[in-house]
């Protein structure tokens, strides 16, 4: 969820690199001399800014190049502006792409986020110092606050900061006015992204810094505990991995038809059809359950017990066999395990009275060892005091009653009566067993095209840089 | 001083020796690879899920989401200081819970649907009753000394939390006190998941280890290693016999509890971004993993291949979840939107 920024590769946290690279490919394509954008000179007050483009042009170019809709082009363009690859000339603080004649410019690669990562406090201080000197103290409120904060924090290098600022200002004065303005715009755009104004979203936020060093002291106590744990672990039984893998395969196969994402669902998936029929048919208690649901009861004992209707059916069956007290006991134990702390003693007493006491109305058949342990435990009741007894009865039911229930007429009739819902009559839906395949999104195809273009370009550039 | 150091070194050596023996024991039972076993299974083919709903409402990064047991309601937490409870079918926001601290990192829905819990940099897990006329704070669970990274309800009376102070904790909601503290991790705990039978849970931490804990005894039953960086996300395979982890080292792994080791790894050289969240489809065949590259990639859990991608977010995918009925998958992102796909 959050990144350890010490995992730095090539000057930029690796997790952001992929996105930046993709955006940079688009930018490079936009600047291609033949197929790229048509640039023009833009008038800004009295100065003429060369190599600028309008928002409208950007969107048109994106639509044409990637065969996408206007909405997508606007979205993509906005991302390019938000991440600082294109900046607006008219309202620099508003990082949005307008689809009108507003002028925009490409950010120079020197100021790409991926080039200069992370933006340092020192650089920010120099920038603010320059601005301060140039505008004779007229910084924005939040810039003033940050400036004084930085002044306190890196006071020891403040002379260097001021000196650098003065030096850079002097150097820039020797440039042509147009170039100077361009550089100022570029630098301002860079800092609007890397040090956003308060209230503006910080898109370069990488989340919490997590301590790289381990939080627990590795002393001798720690190692002693580790040794104990290792000795216990060494003694554990390990199953062959091939058997385990077989198990997963079986499980997936068994549940494949019950997995709506894999196989679709009847009568229809509510998210797709906006029809809640599926949920109604599979509510906790229904007059007739669906076939898939009844099938699941045969997958495992737990499946049967965790379904309200399944449990009821099983109870009916056990009543016929005069062993319903087992399930009642199990249910009562569950209520202790998951219920309120304050009622534990009360519930334990109830269980003792009804199920465990000699001559109890619904006495359960537990082996003497477990019974003794449980009766001892009842003297000081706690949430797990019934665990052993509950487990014993659970396995009793699982090994004995459950398999017989599945072979019984009661279950077989249930299965036969169960509904197989009709598929909702909408021709778009595929048949029940076929895989869902939606047509690939044009953006996906376009991205592939970009990636292919990009790869060729990268190879070309790499060759040039080598 | 020298004697202490000598003792420490001896203990360390013994520890390393034992660990080597455990590794050998694991190797001894590692007699099959997933690719060999899954060779005969039919491939899933290209999985293309469509975007069904785009839930807009949060004003800042979404950090966490959790489905309700009814598979229809869902709660999401954002750093705009709000929890939103959605009816995903209609797309309506049912309830908004304002948070005392906006730095929320985790959210959980109780199985009963009556309570939600949230917590984050305030180190406190706050439990709200959302069935009241307006959301009421039921409890403030305040004992962790680090941020709250994850929480999950066992019932309306108990909740388990994972924290940046390297411990996980079982709380009694009636008294608001800690009942069991699970200590063994040596790095921040980042996520936890309950086993299907609710007798145990797993946790993933910044020490790159995943641990299986017994809720009743409070002890660590098993430890799984293999990742080379923080484990951010963890989930149980539906059968309860295996766990899936997602890490900052850009890979996911499946560990089998009975074989006590990693049985398959999910990585791709083209994937250079850390995994933030994982969720599995109902059959366990598909793994939905949210990455920092703004996408959620889909893996075939049995064959270990990438079979699809959910693209559409403009920033990191921070949370992923599949509802209990498996109808689809929800992704939440730092771009403040939640998207439902199937």
Q: Is B214 on the interface with A (CB under 8 A)?
A: no
Q: To which H or E segment does residue B296 belong? A: strand B296-300
Q: Report the C-alpha gap between B36 and A280 in whole angstroms.
A: 42
Report the SS3 class of residue A349: helix
Burial class (CB in 10 A: 0-12, 13-18, 19+), B107: buried
Helix boundaries (H) for A322-408? 324-338, 344-351, 368-378, 387-396, 402-407
A147 torsion bin: left (phi>0), alpha (psi -120 to 50), beta (else) = alpha
Look at residues B232, B234, B338 and name the one whose alpha carbon lies nearest to residue B291.
B232
So what's the pLDDT on residue A18? Answer: 66
Q: Is A433 on the interface with B (CB under 8 A)?
A: no
What is the DSSP annotation of A143-159? HHHHHHHHHHHTGGGHH
So what's the pLDDT on residue B130? Answer: 93
Q: Is A218 on the interface with B (CB under 8 A)?
A: yes
Name which of A211, A342, A387 is nearest B174 (Cβ-Cβ). Answer: A342
So what's the pLDDT on residue A214? Answer: 63
Q: Which of residues 221-260 of B touch A (CB under 8 A)?
A: 222-223, 229-230, 232-233, 237-239, 241-242, 248, 256, 258-260
Report the SS3 class of residue B17: helix
Q: Which of residues 82-101 of B touch A (CB under 8 A)?
A: 88-89
From the candidates B259, B291, B311, which should be mutated to test the interface with A, based on the most A CB atoms within 10 A?
B259
Q: In this structure, what token pair is assigned to residue A167?
A: 């030096």
pLDDT tens sequence across B224-270: 999 999 999 999 999 999 999 999 999 999 999 999 999 999 999 88
Prior bond to A118 cis, omega within 30? yes
Please name the residue of chain A whose CA is at the shortest distance from the CA of residue B240. Answer: A248
Name which of B15, B166, B216 is nearest A215 (Cβ-Cβ). Answer: B166
Name which of A238, A282, A437 is nearest B25 (Cβ-Cβ). Answer: A238
Q: For chain A, which ranges sit under pLDDT 70?
A: 1-18, 43-47, 49, 116-117, 211-215, 425-466
Residues near A304 by beta carbon (within 8 Å), at least 6 away in sequence:
A297, A298, A310, A311, A314, A402, A405
Q: Report the C-alpha gap between A130 and A135 in whole angstroms.
A: 8
Q: Report the C-alpha gap between A57 and A60 in whole angstroms.
A: 5
Helix boundaries (H) for A379-441? 387-396, 402-407, 409-417
The pair phi, psi for residue B339, each rounded to 5°, is: -120, 140
Q: Is B181 on the interface with A (CB under 8 A)?
A: no
So what's the pLDDT on residue A34? Answer: 82
- The alpha-carbon radius of gyration of chain A (Å, integer) is 35
N-to-C CA span, chain B: 63
Cβ–Cβ under 8 Å, residues A297 and A303 = yes
Cβ–Cβ under 8 Å, residues A262 and B51 = no
Cβ–Cβ under 8 Å, residues B252 and B299 = yes
pTM of the model: 0.84
What's the angle, vertex CA A404, arms to CA A400 and CA A405, rounded to 5?
115
Name which of A19, A241, A438 is nearest B294 (Cβ-Cβ). Answer: A19
Helix boundaries (H) for B173-313? none
Q: How far is A218 from chain B (nearest CA, A)?
A: 9
So what's the pLDDT on residue B183? Answer: 92
Judged by CB atoms closer than 8 Å, whether chains meet at B186 and A215 is answered as: yes
Q: Please report residues of A whose CB lies closer than 8 A to that of B46.
A: 437
Judged by CB atoms closer than 8 Å, whether chains meet at A4 and B248 is answered as: yes
Rounded to whole angstroms, what are the CA distances from A162 to A131, A138, A156, B330, B332? 11, 17, 12, 51, 45
Look at residues A339, A381, A375 and name the one whose alpha carbon lies nearest to residue A355.
A375
What is the DSSP annotation of A103-132? EEEEPPGGG-TTTS-SPPHHHHHHHHHHHH
Q: In this structure, what token pair is assigned to residue A32?
A: 């291609």
Q: Report the C-alpha gap between A149 and A147 in whole angstroms.
A: 5
Binning chain B into helix, strand and coil, the percentages to the nearest 5 are 10, 50, 40
Helix, strand counts (H, E) of chain B: 2, 28
So what's the pLDDT on residue B221? Answer: 92
Q: Report the C-alpha gap between B9 and A227 in whole angstroms.
A: 13
So what's the pLDDT on residue A9? Answer: 42
Cβ–Cβ under 8 Å, residues B154 and B160 = yes
Helix boundaries (H) for A195-240? 220-234
The pair phi, psi for residue B150, each rounded to 5°, is: -160, 150
B215 secondary structure, DSSP code:
T
Look at residues A176, A188, A96 and name the one whose alpha carbon lies nearest to residue A134.
A188
Judged by CB atoms closer than 8 Å, whether chains meet at A269 and B342 is answered as: yes
What's the angle, vertex CA B156, arms to CA B154 and CA B159, rounded to 5?
40
The complex scores an ipTM of 0.87
Please name the residue of chain A whose CA is at the shortest distance from the CA of residue B15. Answer: A227
Q: In this structure, what token pair is assigned to residue A292?
A: 């898939």
Burial class (CB in 10 A: 0-12, 13-18, 19+), B292: buried
Cβ–Cβ under 8 Å, residues A41 and A91 = no
Q: Please report residues of B whose CB lies closer than 8 A to that of A2.
A: 232
Q: How far is A443 from chain B (nearest CA, A)?
A: 9
pLDDT (tens digit, 0 to 9) for every residue of chain B, 342 residues total?
A: 778 888 888 888 998 999 999 999 988 888 877 777 777 788 888 888 999 999 999 999 999 999 999 999 999 999 999 999 999 999 999 999 999 999 999 999 999 999 999 999 999 999 999 998 889 999 999 999 999 999 999 999 999 999 999 999 999 998 999 999 999 999 999 999 999 989 999 999 999 999 999 998 999 999 999 999 999 999 999 999 999 999 999 999 999 999 999 999 999 988 888 999 999 999 999 999 999 888 999 999 988 999 999 998 988 899 999 999 999 999 999 999 999 998
Judged by CB atoms closer than 8 Å, whether chains meet at B248 and A338 is answered as: no
Judged by CB atoms closer than 8 Å, whether chains meet at A245 and B38 is answered as: yes
Judged by CB atoms closer than 8 Å, whether chains meet at B157 and A244 is answered as: no
Q: Which of residues 18-77 of B touch A (CB under 8 A)?
A: 18-19, 21-22, 25-26, 28-32, 34, 36-38, 41, 44-50, 52-53, 60-61, 63, 71-72
Q: Report the C-alpha gap between A79 and B250 in whole angstroms.
A: 24
Query: Which residue bears the tokens 């993933």?
Result: B204
Cβ–Cβ under 8 Å, residues B108 and B117 = yes
Q: Are strands B220-224 and B210-214 parallel, antiparallel or unpaired?
A: antiparallel
Q: Report the C-alpha gap between A438 and A440 in whole angstroms.
A: 6
Cβ–Cβ under 8 Å, residues A86 and A80 = yes
């Amino acid at each position: 969820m959050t990144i350890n920024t010490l995992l730095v590769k090539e000057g930029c946290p690796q997790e952001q690199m992929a996105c930046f690279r993709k955006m940079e490919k688009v930018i490079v394509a936009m600047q291609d001399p033949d197929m790229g954008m048509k640039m023009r000179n833009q008038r800004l007050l009295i100065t003429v800014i060369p190599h600028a483009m309008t928002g409208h042009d950007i969107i048109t170019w994106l639509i044409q190049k990637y065969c996408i809709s206007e909405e997508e082009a606007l979205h993509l363009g906005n991302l390019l502006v938000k991440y600082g690859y294109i900046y607006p000339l008219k309202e620099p603080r508003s990082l949005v792409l307008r689809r009108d004649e507003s002028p925009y410019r490409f950010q120079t690669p020197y100021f790409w986020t991926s080039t200069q990562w992370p933006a340092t406090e020192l650089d920010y201080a120099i920038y603010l110092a320059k601005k301060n000197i140039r505008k004779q103290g007229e910084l924005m409120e939040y810039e003033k606050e940050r400036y004084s904060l930085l002044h306190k924090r890196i006071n020891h290098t403040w002379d260097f900061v001021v000196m650098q600022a003065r030096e850079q200002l002097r150097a820039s004065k020797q440039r042509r006015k147009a170039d100077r303005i361009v550089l100022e715009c570029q630098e301002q755009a860079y800092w609007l992204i890397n040090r956003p104004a308060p209230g503006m979203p910080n898109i370069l936020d990488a989340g919490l810094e997590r301590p790289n060093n381990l939080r627990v002291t590795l002393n001798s106590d720690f190692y002693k505990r580790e040794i104990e744990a290792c000795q216990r672990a060494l003694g554990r039984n390990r199953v062959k991995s091939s058997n385990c893998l077989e198990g997963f395969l079986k499980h997936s196969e068994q549940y494949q038809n019950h997995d709506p994402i894999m196989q679709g669902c009847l009568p229809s998936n509510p998210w797709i059809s906006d029809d809640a029929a599926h949920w109604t048919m599979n509510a906790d208690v229904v007059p007739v359950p669906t076939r898939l649901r009844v099938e699941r009861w045969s997958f495992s004992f737990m499946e049967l017990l965790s379904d309200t209707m399944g449990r009821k059916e099983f109870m009916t069956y056990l009543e016929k066999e005069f062993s319903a007290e087992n399930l009642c006991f199990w249910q009562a134990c569950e209520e202790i395990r998951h219920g309120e702390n304050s009622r534990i003693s009360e519930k334990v007493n109830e269980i003792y009275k009804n199920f465990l006491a000699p001559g109890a109305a619904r006495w359960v058949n537990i082996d003497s060892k477990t019974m003794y342990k449980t009766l001892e435990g009842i003297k000081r009741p706690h949430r797990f005091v019934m665990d052993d007894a509950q487990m014993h009865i659970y396995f009793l039911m699982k090994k004995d009653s459950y398999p017989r229930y599945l072979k019984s007429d009661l279950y077989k009739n249930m299965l036969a009566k169960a509904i197989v819902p009709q598929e909702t009559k909408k021709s778009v839906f595929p048949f029940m067993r076929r895989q869902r395949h939606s047509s690939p999104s044009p953006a996906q195809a376009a991205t592939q095209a970009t990636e292919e273009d990009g790869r060729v370009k990268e190879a070309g550039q790499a060759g040039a840089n080598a | 001083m020298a004697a202490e150091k000598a003792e420490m070194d001896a203990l360390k050596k013994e520890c390393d020796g034992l660990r080597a023996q455990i590794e050998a024991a694991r190797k001894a039972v590692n007699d099959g690879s997933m690719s060999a076993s899954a060779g005969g299974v039919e491939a899933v083919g290209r999985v293309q899920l469509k975007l069904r709903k785009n839930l807009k409402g949060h004003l800042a990064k979404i950090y966490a989401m959790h489905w309700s047991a009814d598979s229809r309601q869902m709660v999401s937490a954002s750093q705009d200081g709000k929890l939103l409870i959605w009816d995903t079918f209609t797309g309506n926001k049912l309830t908004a819970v304002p948070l005392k601290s906006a730095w929320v990192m985790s959210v959980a829905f109780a199985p009963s649907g009556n309570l939600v819990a949230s917590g984050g940099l305030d180190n406190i897990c706050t439990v709200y009753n959302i069935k009241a006329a307006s959301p009421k704070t039921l409890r403030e669970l305040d004992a962790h000394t680090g941020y709250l990274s994850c929480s999950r309800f066992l019932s309306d009376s108990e909740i388990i939390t994972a924290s940046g102070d390297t411990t996980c904790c079982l709380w009694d909601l009636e008294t608001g006190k800690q009942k069991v503290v699970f200590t063994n991790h040596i790095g921040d705990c980042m996520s936890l998941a309950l086993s299907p039978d609710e007798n145990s849970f797993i946790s993933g931490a910044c020490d790159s280890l995943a641990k299986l804990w017994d809720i009743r005894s409070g002890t660590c039953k098993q430890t799984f290693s293999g990742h080379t960086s923080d484990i951010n996300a963890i989930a149980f395979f539906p059968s309860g016999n295996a766990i899936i982890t997602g890490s900052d080292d850009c890979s996911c792994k499946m560990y089998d509890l009975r074989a006590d080791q990693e049985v398959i790894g999910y990585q791709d050289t083209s994937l250079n971004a850390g995994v933030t969240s994982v969720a599995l489809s109902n059959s366990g065949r598909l793994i939905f993993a949210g990455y920092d590259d703004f996408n959620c990639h889909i893996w075939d859990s049995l064959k270990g291949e990438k079979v699809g991608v959910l693209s559409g977010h403009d920033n990191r995918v921070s949370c992923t979840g599949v509802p209990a009925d498996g109808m689809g998958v929800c992704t939440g992102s730092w771009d403040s939107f939640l998207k439902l796909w199937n």
